[in-house]
């Protein structure tokens, strides 16, 4: 029988014991090994771990030496992430930064960053040179994030380092003005319709109150649009605008809310993953807290999408704790921020009902339906009416975004309609294409739900987390409406996704950051202001096809949605790097080998001595563990 061996990067394999049956488990990142022992008959383990009343301790802790520094590749990844994110912060602190939307009077970056930006001369650059420098900054931040994600996935960066980076990045971005989007002005406007004017933001629009101080700051395309956000977020906006009046302070309050939600998501996800998949904890935290999209677009832009991610993370944590009702309530609250959370909510209800005995399924469905409806109605009841009964859900479906992969199909359909019937047929053809895209997304979600309903293995917490991630990708990637911050919904689930979906999320995070040269089109050079990509973001299209093909393959073959496959795919060599086949510096790997002679133990006090049966010395009997 092969001998269990303990291997590490610090020395040769050491045979622990060759006379009994040991059950091995590794906890942490090389900080210790837990060896639950089962003593075979006639073998006594002499150890000082004997507790009072004759009880043996259930686990023997074998500490290992903690390395004093990161491996070179990990250190370069951390340095690249810090350098790229700080470089981007300096560009964002420049008074004429291309990443600023229209700002309220008096809103500037905090003095340390603004001073450093002035010292290195960024404030003296013209519009085009500063735009080029900004592009270099986003490229460096995206590249640093990709390297950090790779090293974190490989286990070469400790959780503590990633947490420190996360906190540092959030502190830095809170020293900056509003970034990359004007959506926060719409949040505040809808809140003021409730708190100041006593109106219904799902019926009234900012154009009904043009004398408000936020009018000139709000994006023109949203001034005549009712609220497209859930009732919970509308109440939060109303409360914040009732207490805070100045536009600069309103913007800062939404940024603080986004930062708290982001750090809360990191805390929930990190705590969960350290319990169930500790080797993935650093990656799970880095995908959220060190992601440039989260830090600069979501927190810097004060977006409410991170609230959806927070409630999704809480729901996953409740699933692993076997508290399905709390998971459903968390998703109902997320749905009350943005309607996208309804997708995992439906899937979790399907799993709960499928797990119930057939004779109780109707009762379980009615109970969960009543709880979810009660949560939503308690928040939405004051806003319900017949003019906009969906509370903005249908309104947002009519918008487009240039980077959405689905724009390729919409544009092609519009062109074909124009060729067939002229301009009057363009819009109907485009609408038909949008309906087709929504149908594809719905079909993917139905396929996931069918898998959950018919397979017990698909209802485990791990499988459900992966199913939610796939469902979020299914409703965002093919959609004709895709903004950078929509990717945040699925980030708390990235640690459970298989390699193609996981790598696709990393790629999209990097390229979406690089894509946005400026926030306001008027800041572009004249020759670029009229340039439009008619087919969506090319990288997003490629990722959509790549991820979609893997999803279809899994559905057809019956492969679990969370399972890794051995098929080679794009990114294998990069993810492995030069560490392929090498032992990890922070982790202990267990191998089954058959050595000729076990290596001697250099520190025998760490391991118990074994008294063989042939020893002439009488063998003392151990007190059984169940004897008090």
- d(CA 260, CA 301) in angstroms, rounded, equals 14
In a domain, 111, yes or no: yes
In a domain, 624, yes or no: no
Question: Do 554 and 607 share a domain, yes or no?
Answer: no
Judged on CB neighbours under 10 Å (0-12, 13-18, 19+), 135 is middle
Residue 624 or 568, more confident:
568
pLDDT in tens, 192-217: 999 999 999 999 999 999 999 899 99
366 token code pair: 């009615």
Work out the average pLDDT over 279-292: 96
Question: Do 300 and 330 share a domain, yes or no?
Answer: yes
What's residue 582's pLDDT? Answer: 42
- d(CA 299, CA 470) in angstroms, rounded, equals 24
- d(CA 98, CA 126) in angstroms, rounded, equals 10
Question: Do 454 and 378 share a domain, yes or no?
Answer: yes
Q: DSSP assignment of 161-210, as one string?
A: HHHHHHHHHHHHHTTS---S--HHHHHHHHHHHHHTT---TTT--GGG-T
Judged on CB neighbours under 10 Å (0-12, 13-18, 19+), 505 is buried
Question: Do 483 and 521 share a domain, yes or no?
Answer: yes
Give yes or no for a contact between 472 and 490, defined as CB atoms under 8 angstroms apart: yes
- d(CA 233, CA 237) in angstroms, rounded, equals 6
Work out the average pLDDT over 277-290: 96
User: Residue 553: phi, psi to the nearest 5?
Assistant: -65, -40
| SS3 readout for 257-303 | HHHHHHHHHHHHHHHHHHHHCHHHHHHHHHHHHCCHHHHHHHHCCCC
- d(CA 15, CA 7) in angstroms, rounded, equals 9
Question: Do 339 and 410 share a domain, yes or no?
Answer: yes
Question: Do 356 and 372 share a domain, yes or no?
Answer: yes
Please, which pLDDT band fits residue 257 given cuts at 50, 70 and 90?
very high
Please, which pLDDT band fits residue 600 given cuts at 50, 70 and 90?
low
Whether the pLDDT of residue 236 is over 50: the answer is yes
Whether the pLDDT of residue 8 is over 70: the answer is no
Judged on CB neighbours under 10 Å (0-12, 13-18, 19+), 566 is exposed
What proportion of the chain, given as a percentage, has pLDDT over 70?
77
Give yes or no for a contact between 29 and 64, defined as CB atoms under 8 angstroms apart: no
In a domain, 618, yes or no: no
What's residue 57's pLDDT? Answer: 44
Give yes or no for a contact between 211 and 248, defined as CB atoms under 8 angstroms apart: no
Minimum mean pLDDT range among 356-370, 376-390, 440-454: 376-390
- d(CA 625, CA 56) in angstroms, rounded, equals 7
Question: Do 167 and 88 share a domain, yes or no?
Answer: yes
Return the residue matching tokens 């986004």: 258
Work out the average pLDDT over 216-229: 90
In a domain, 56, yes or no: yes
Give yes or no for a contact between 405 and 544, defined as CB atoms under 8 angstroms apart: yes
In a domain, 210, yes or no: no
Range of the domain at 448: 72-182+249-383+398-574
- d(CA 113, CA 128) in angstroms, rounded, equals 21
In a domain, 422, yes or no: yes
Give yes or no for a contact between 140 and 80, defined as CB atoms under 8 angstroms apart: yes
Strand partners, 59: 36
- d(CA 252, CA 584) in angstroms, rounded, equals 43
Question: Do 422 and 500 share a domain, yes or no?
Answer: yes
Question: Do 454 and 520 share a domain, yes or no?
Answer: yes
Give yes or no for a contact between 493 and 312, defined as CB atoms under 8 angstroms apart: yes
Please, which pLDDT band fits residue 532 given cuts at 50, 70 and 90?
low
What's residue 611's pLDDT? Answer: 53
Question: Do 18 and 154 share a domain, yes or no?
Answer: no
What's residue 25's pLDDT? Answer: 40
Question: Do 14 and 77 share a domain, yes or no?
Answer: no
In a domain, 229, yes or no: no
Q: Which residues are CB-contacts of 320 (< 8 A; sequence separation ≥ 6)?
A: 272, 275, 276, 461
Minimum mean pLDDT range among 11-15, 157-161, 358-362: 11-15
Work out the average pLDDT over 168-185: 95
What's residue 16's pLDDT? Answer: 44
Residue 463's nearest CA partner among 453, 447, 452 is: 452
CA 261 remoteness from chain centre: 12
Whether the pLDDT of residue 530 is over 80: the answer is no
**What is the tally of structural domains in the chain?**
2
Please, which pLDDT band fits residue 263 given cuts at 50, 70 and 90?
very high
Q: Where are the alpha helices (DSSP H) in 359-498?
A: 361-380, 393-396, 407-421, 426-454, 461-476
Name the strands in the sheet holding 589-593, side by side, starting at the edge strand that comes first in the sequence: 11-15, 3-8, 589-593
Give yes or no for a contact between 145 and 288, defined as CB atoms under 8 angstroms apart: no
- d(CA 547, CA 471) in angstroms, rounded, equals 12
In a domain, 529, yes or no: yes
Question: Do 39 and 163 share a domain, yes or no?
Answer: no
């Amino acid at each position: 029988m092969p001998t269990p061996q303990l291997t590490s990067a610090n020395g040769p394999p050491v045979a622990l014991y060759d006379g009994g049956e040991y059950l091995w488990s590794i906890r942490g990142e090389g900080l210790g090994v837990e060896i639950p022992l089962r003593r075979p008959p006639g073998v006594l383990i002499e150890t000082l771990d004997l507790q009072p009343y004759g009880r043996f301790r259930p686990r023997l802790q074998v500490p290992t030496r903690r390395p004093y520094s990161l491996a070179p590749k990990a250190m370069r990844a951390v340095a690249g992430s810090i350098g790229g994110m700080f470089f981007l912060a300096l560009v964002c602190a420049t008074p004429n930064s291309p990443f600023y939307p229209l700002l309220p009077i008096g809103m500037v970056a905090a003095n340390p960053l603004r001073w450093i930006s002035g010292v290195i001369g960024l404030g003296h650059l013209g519009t085009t040179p500063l735009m080029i420098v900004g592009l270099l900054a986003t490229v460096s931040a995206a590249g640093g994030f990709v390297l950090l994600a790779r090293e974190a996935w490989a286990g070469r960066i400790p959780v503590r380092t990633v947490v420190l980076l996360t906190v540092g990045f959030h502190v830095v971005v809170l020293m900056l003005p509003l970034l990359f989007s004007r959506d926060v002005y719409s949040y505040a406007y809808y809140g003021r319709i409730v708190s100041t004017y006593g109106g219904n933001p799902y019926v009234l629009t900012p154009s009904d109150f043009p004398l408000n101080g936020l009018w000139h700051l709000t994006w023109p395309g949203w001034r005549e649009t009712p609220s497209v956000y859930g009732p919970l977020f509308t109440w939060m906006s109303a409360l914040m605008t009732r207490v805070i009046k100045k536009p600069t302070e309103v913007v800062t309050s939404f940024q603080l809310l986004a930062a708290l939600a982001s750090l809360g998501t990191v805390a929930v996800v990190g705590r969960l993953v350290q319990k169930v998949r500790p080797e993935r904890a650093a990656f799970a935290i880095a995908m959220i807290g060190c992601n440039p999209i989260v830090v600069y677009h979501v927190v810097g832009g004060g977006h409410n999408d991170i609230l959806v991610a927070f409630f999704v993370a809480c729901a996953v944590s409740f699933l692993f704790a076997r508290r399905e009702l709390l998971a459903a309530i968390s998703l109902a609250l997320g749905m009350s921020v943005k309607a996208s959370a309804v997708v995992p909510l439906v899937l979790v209800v399907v799993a709960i009902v499928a797990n119930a005995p057939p004779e109780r399924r109707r009762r379980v469905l009615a109970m969960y339906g009543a709880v979810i409806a009660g949560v939503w109605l308690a928040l939405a009841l004051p806003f319900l009416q017949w003019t906009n009964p969906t509370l903005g859900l249908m309104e947002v479906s009519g918008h487009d975004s240039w980077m959405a992969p689905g724009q390729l199909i919409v544009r092609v359909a519009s062109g074909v309609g124009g060729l067939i019937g002229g301009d009057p047929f363009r819009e109907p053809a485009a609408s038909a294409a949008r309906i087709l895209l929504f149908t594809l997304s719905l079909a993917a979600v139905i396929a996931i739900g069918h898998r959950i309903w018919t397979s017990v293995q698909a209802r485990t917490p791990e499988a459900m987390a992966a199913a939610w991630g796939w469902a979020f990708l299914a409703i965002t990637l093919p959609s004709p409406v895709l903004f950078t911050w929509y990717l945040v919904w699925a980030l708390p689930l990235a640690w459970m996704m298989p390699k193609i979906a996981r790598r696709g999320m990393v790629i999209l995070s990097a390229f979406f950051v690089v894509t946005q040269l400026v926030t306001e089109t008027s800041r572009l050079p004249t020759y670029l202001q009229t340039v439009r990509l008619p087919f969506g973001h090319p990288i997003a299209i490629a990722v959509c096809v790549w991820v979609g093909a893997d999803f279809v393959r899994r559905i057809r073959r019956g492969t679990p949605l969370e399972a890794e496959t051995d098929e080679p795919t794009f990114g294998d060599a990069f993810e492995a790097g030069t560490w392929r086949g090498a032992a990890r510096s922070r982790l202990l790997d267990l191998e089954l080998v058959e050595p000729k002679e076990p290596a001697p133990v250099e520190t025998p006090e760490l391991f118990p001595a074994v008294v063989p049966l042939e020893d002439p010395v009488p063998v003392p009997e151990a007190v059984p563990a169940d004897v008090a």
